[in-house]
Amino acid sequence: IFDCMRGRLNAEAGTLTLGGIHHYQEHLINANRIIIVACGTSWHAGLVAEYMFEEFARIPVEVEYASEFRYRNPVINKGDVVIAISQSGETADTLAAMELAKSQGAIVLGVCNVVGSSIARLSHEGVYTHAGPEIGVASTKAFTAQLTVLAMIALKTAWHRKTLSEARFLEYLCELERIPAKVAKCFELNDKITVISELFKDARNFLYLGRGYNFPVALEGALKLKEISYIHAEGYPAAEMKHGPIALIDEEMPVVFIATRDSSYDKVVSNIQEVKARGGRVIVVVTKGDALIPKMADFVVEVPKTCDAFMPMVSVVPLQLLSYHIAVMRGCNVDQPRNLAKSVTV
Ligand code: F1P
């Protein structure tokens, strides 16, 4: 995906092309609202996309579980554009949500990994993520690839809507090009994460907390742990902790904070203090060079600095590694988790 992305990032920013979305580009640029439908990990990518589209292009976005959207009676207006996200391209709920949207006259765009899949064929137009086949059932690299493609679509839309200055737009493009190297850096964390995994492999519950762009990452970290390690895990917006999950915190409950340096940093600091005050054991994912949060945490994982919007592509990697190592240590089959199908077609 990154090679492919580099190939497509045109130095002439105004003529940036995404291949897939061409004939329906005007619909996206002039959309009154974007509705994103997806399931599982793809839904988490949709949440990140919501933040990106709203921040860059100033278009209101709703993100819906396709499995809910298809069974309720959603309002779809003229001027809405639906984006369906799927790794496999065969998820039955996502297909049904797309069919419903199309039957009400919506333009449906796809972001999908598998060329020629049902979701690709049902989309009016779309973009392939080209992440290569997911060997395992649980989505990992597909997530990163989805975020990349969605970032590109959001940026391109913002460019045409003139909601980002040229300087900001180019800054984002340049930063997007640096992401592959930053993701590669995260794999150097492997040994450290193996040690942390050994200490927590017998935990019965995990809590993952993040704010802003790192909130969907918290959800994704928890989902990966559930899917492949069979440990109960919950992802929550860090600010919501005090509205319920705080009751769960004790020394038996590891809490993973995705606490990179962003606009919500100070608030996350106080959330960590709240957990520590209740005896919680804290693992933090922080921006490299952060001096404050590491002093408060029990275990620290440093990821390279990037902008808030692209941080999920980087900060998710240590969480994927944590789930992987814990699963292996617990003797779970990471590629073929029990009860989980590669594409959920019913
Ligand atoms: C959605 C999904 C995956 C999950 C598992 C079951 O699939 O929930 O996120 O890891 O494979 O299906 P897709 O629509 O993205 O293929």
The pTM is what? 0.92
Kindly report the protein residue whose alpha carbon is nearest to atom 5 of ligand 1.
Answer: 138
Write the CATH number for 266. Answer: 3.40.50.10490
Distance 85 CA to ligand 1 centre (A): 10
ipTM higher than threshold 0.90: yes
Amino acid symbol at 281: R
What is the Cα–Cα distance from 293 to 286, expressed in whole angstroms? 7
3-class DSSP assignment, residue 7: helix
Residues 157, 11 within the same domain: yes
Average pLDDT over residues 74-102: 94
- The per-residue pLDDT for 8 is 47
What is the Cα–Cα distance from 71 to 346, expressed in whole angstroms? 14
Distance 179 CA to ligand 1 centre (A): 24
Average pLDDT over residues 99-112: 94
- Ligand 1 proximity of 39 Cβ (cutoff 6 Å): yes
Residue 313 falls within a domain, yes or no? yes
Residue 210 falls within a domain, yes or no? yes
Residue 61 falls within a domain, yes or no? yes
- The per-residue pLDDT for 337 is 76
- The per-residue pLDDT for 11 is 37
Question: Model confidence over 16-68: pLDDT tens digits?
Answer: 334 578 788 889 999 999 999 999 999 999 999 999 999 999 999 999 999 99
- Ligand 1 proximity of 94 Cβ (cutoff 6 Å): yes
Judge whether 36 and 180 are in contact, CB under 8 Å: no
- The per-residue pLDDT for 250 is 86
Residues 22, 94 within the same domain: yes
Range of the domain at 42: 2-164
Atom of ligand 1 nearest to the CA of 43: 9
Residues 6 or more apart whose Cβ sits within 8 Å of residue 220: 41, 44, 143, 235, 312, 316, 319
Q: Which range, of 25-34, 95-104, 134-143, 227-236, averages the lowest pLDDT?
A: 134-143
Residue 343 falls within a domain, yes or no? no
Look up residue 287 and give its two tokens. 């921006």
Residues 318, 236 within the same domain: yes
At residue 15 the predicted structure's pLDDT band, cuts being 50, 70 and 90, is very low
CA atoms within 13 Å, Cβ hemisphere of 12: 3
Cα 50 to chain center, whole Å?
Answer: 10
When divided into structural domains, the chain yields a total of 2
Look up residue 304 and give its two tokens. 């390279």
